[in-house]
Every structure is written in structure tokens, then in C-alpha cells.
Structure 1
Amino acid sequence: MRIIGGKLKGLRLNPPANLPVRPTTDLAKEALFNILQNQIELEGITVLDLFSGTGNVALEFASRYAESVLCIDRAFGCVKYVTEVAAQHKLDQLTTRKSDVFKYLAQQTDKYDLIFADPPYDLSRIPEIAKIVFDRDFLNPDGLLIIEHQSMQNLSNHPAFVEQRRYGHSSFSFFRNGN
């Protein structure tokens, strides 16, 4: 894993091998950020990274000058790793919180420009993520929700669904807040 753009471009990430994660591949992440660069201004946005794992995507947003990036993960090792990498590279806009994502979403009230969710592929509650985000109004006007999931899964039945992009066995589904 490496940071592909911004002030930390080229930085190799070497998380501990024992973390319970399936990181977004560099190929998929590069494709995702190419799409995003053509749709929104990444500098200055507020980002919520759900199921952040190694922080691969969150660190990419921070490297590209997001105003704030909040990482949520329930694994202590993941939160510790992301916190240490952010401190080491002076990414003061990146914060972490150890929490179950669904419990966090039930209590939080902040709004974001972009929410990225990379849940475990075998999680049965993946379709609930879009419902919760839009029912609870967590996105700023024209904000984006991006859910990474298995390519065979279809999340297009949500009214805010825009498109699905496939990268091998992984896909990104995009949802936009039209308000």
C-alpha cells in the first residue's frame, strides 16, 4: 500500500500483519481518486471514513489536504496504527475513534462532504449504510457517499444511488445528496 497523491505521495504504508483488514488495493484506490478529482475539489473537504481499517483511504484524503478526516473502526490495532501514522506525518486534520460503526452512526449528528465506507465484504448490513446516512442526513448538500463492496453485490435500489464502478472483485457504489 502506498499514498498515491498529495503531500505524502509515494509513502509506503506498512501496517502490522495481524490487523483484521482487507485494504483497498492501490489500483482500486487510484481509480477512485481519479474519479473523485474529476467530480469534487478534494482540498478542504470534510471526510468520514467508516470501517477505516489501515486508514489507507483516510490517509490519502489527508495527504490531499482534506480539512478534516475522521476514521471509525472497532479494532483497537487499526485505530492505533492510523493514529500513529497520522502523528508521524503531522496529519493533524486526521482523527480516529474506536467504535462500532453502526453504534457510532446511531449517536453522531455531524455532516460531511464525503463519507467513505469499506465494510467487511461478508457484513450482512452493508445495504443499511446508505439508508442510515441519508435518513439521518449526514451529508452536506451535494455530498457523496461511497461504499466499497463485492462486485456481485448490487446497491442500486437506494434513491440516491448514482453509479457502480467495478475493479475486479471490488466495486465502489456512489450515492449523492441532491439537497
Structure 2
Amino acid sequence: MTRIIAGIAGGVPLAAVPGSATRPTTDRVKEALFSRLDALGMLSRARVLDLYAGSGALGVEAASRGASTVELVEADAKAAQVCERNARTVNEAVSRRAVTVRRSKVSVFLEKVPLGAHWDLVLMDPPYPLGEEQLADVLGAVAPRLAADALVVVERSTRSPEPAWPDGLAHYADRKYGETHLWFAEPTAPAGQGSAGMSEPAPSLET
């Protein structure tokens, strides 16, 4: 059974999407990811966007650990219903409506959001069959809607190439966990101002 790992709602069980329509992040990867985000100070009071949310496990974990708001974006009807259920569970645990669910295709959702600094952290766990060009288009739509010190995390198969980072986003670090590759990117600053996010890029590591 999937549970929230830590935070106010730590230990609370989560509903899973029935069947094999989604590919949930393993507990090992989730724990490593959120330990890193905690260490970077990316969660407290953050505005979080969870794209291709599946069950919403990543987004609600962020809410449990102190995120201010979390938006779960999921197009699949069954998965969106599970997102709703998990959002209600976590909102009750944190005693506020921290998590909302948007049933929509990711591209359509982003098109409707005006340009501006809407999110501090974006979590993306797209289905592995998603084409690299489609992924690049989504990243291109995300980039102009980020806070200056935001972070974007993309979860892919180790067999997938590095995402094509659009103008406005730069590779910051990456980590491998078994068959999972996590890519971290941050907004690029105007020339002469240096990085807008993390100060010293970390090298790629396989763990």
C-alpha cells in the first residue's frame, strides 16, 4: 500500500490507480527525491504543480511537507478520480484545502495559464511513451510560468535521453535510481546575473 512518507500527513495511506494506466513512482525514488527537495528548501510554502499526476502521490507528499498550494493535473478519468480522493485525504490531514485537482491534458491546462511566476516547484512524471518533442513542448510552456528561483523535476526511464531544455530552463543536476532517471532544471537568469536558482550545479550521480 502506498503511503505518504513524511510531514503532517506522514503514514497516511493513499489510493492507487486501478490497472496499469499509470506508472507510479517507487517509494525509493520518492523518498530520495523529497529528501533532496527538503535539503534544498524547495517545499516549505512552495506553490507546486504536479503534471501527469497519476494518483497524485508526488503532489500530496509535497503538501504534507509544507507546500502552500499543490495543483494535480491529470487527463485520465480514473486517475483523476483517485487524485480527488487522495487530495481530500491530505487536505483533511493538513486542515486546509492545499491540494486541488485539474482534470485536463497537460498542454491544454498550461495554455490556459497566463504567463507569470505561478509555481516554485514543478514535478513531471510523464508516461514513458511520451515523445521527446511533446515533452520539450510542455517544458517550453512551463518555463515562462515559473518563479525566478523555481525548480523543475522530470522523471524518465534511464533508457530515455536527456530532455531537450527550452529557452528559459537549464539542466541543474540529475540522479539515477535503478530504472528511473530524475532530471532537475532551473530557470535561467538574464545574462550577467548568474543562475536564478541553485548556486552550484551538482554532477550526475548514479545511486
Alignment TM-score, normalising by the size of structure 2:
0.79
Aligned with 2:14: secondary structure?
A: coil
Query: Which residue number corresponds to residue 131 of structure 1?
Result: 140
* Structure 1 residues 3-152: aligned runs within 5 Å: 3-18=4-19, 20-89=21-90, 90=92, 92-109=97-114, 111-124=118-131, 125-134=134-143, 137-152=144-159
Contact 2:17 2:55 (8 Å CA) reproduced:
no
Tell me, in whole angstroms, the C-alpha distance in 1 between the residues paired with 2:186 and 2:135: 17
Aligned with 1:149: secondary structure?
A: strand
Aligned CA RMSD, in angstroms, stands at: 1.7
Contact 2:136 2:164 (8 Å CA) reproduced:
no
How many percent identity over aligned positions? 30
Aligned with 1:165: secondary structure?
A: strand
Structure 1 runs (4+) deviating above 4 angstroms are none
Tell me, in whole angstroms, the C-alpha distance in 2 between the residues paired with 1:71 and 1:27: 21
CA shift at 1:131, angstroms?
A: 2.5
Tell me, in whole angstroms, the C-alpha distance in 2 between the residues paired with 1:61 and 1:3: 9
Range 98-107 or range 27-36, more displaced: 98-107
Query: Which residue number corresponds to residue 169 of structure 1?
Result: 179
Range 6-15 or range 43-52, more displaced: 6-15
Contact 1:19 1:77 (8 Å CA) reproduced:
no
CA shift at 1:97, angstroms?
A: 0.8
Q: Residues 139 and 98 (structure 1 numbering): CA distance in 2 closer, same or farther, change over 3 Å?
A: same
Which amino acid is the alignment partner of residue 166 of structure 1? K
Which amino acid is the alignment partner of residue 126 of structure 1? L
Tell me, in whole angstroms, the C-alpha distance in 2 between the residues paired with 1:156 and 1:97: 25
Contact 1:127 1:155 (8 Å CA) reproduced:
no
What is the number of equivalent residue pairs in this alignment? Answer: 177
Aligned with 2:155: secondary structure?
A: strand
Aligned with 1:123: secondary structure?
A: coil
Q: 5+ residue gaps in structure 1?
A: none
Alignment TM-score, normalising by the size of structure 1:
0.91
Q: Residues 162 and 88 (structure 1 numbering): CA distance in 2 closer, same or farther, change over 3 Å?
A: closer
Contact 2:74 2:104 (8 Å CA) reproduced:
yes
Aligned with 1:8: secondary structure?
A: coil
Q: Residues 40 and 11 (structure 1 numbering): CA distance in 2 closer, same or farther, change over 3 Å?
A: same
Aligned with 2:176: secondary structure?
A: strand
- Name the larger-Rg structure: 2
Contact 1:116 1:147 (8 Å CA) reproduced:
yes
Aligned with 1:162: secondary structure?
A: strand
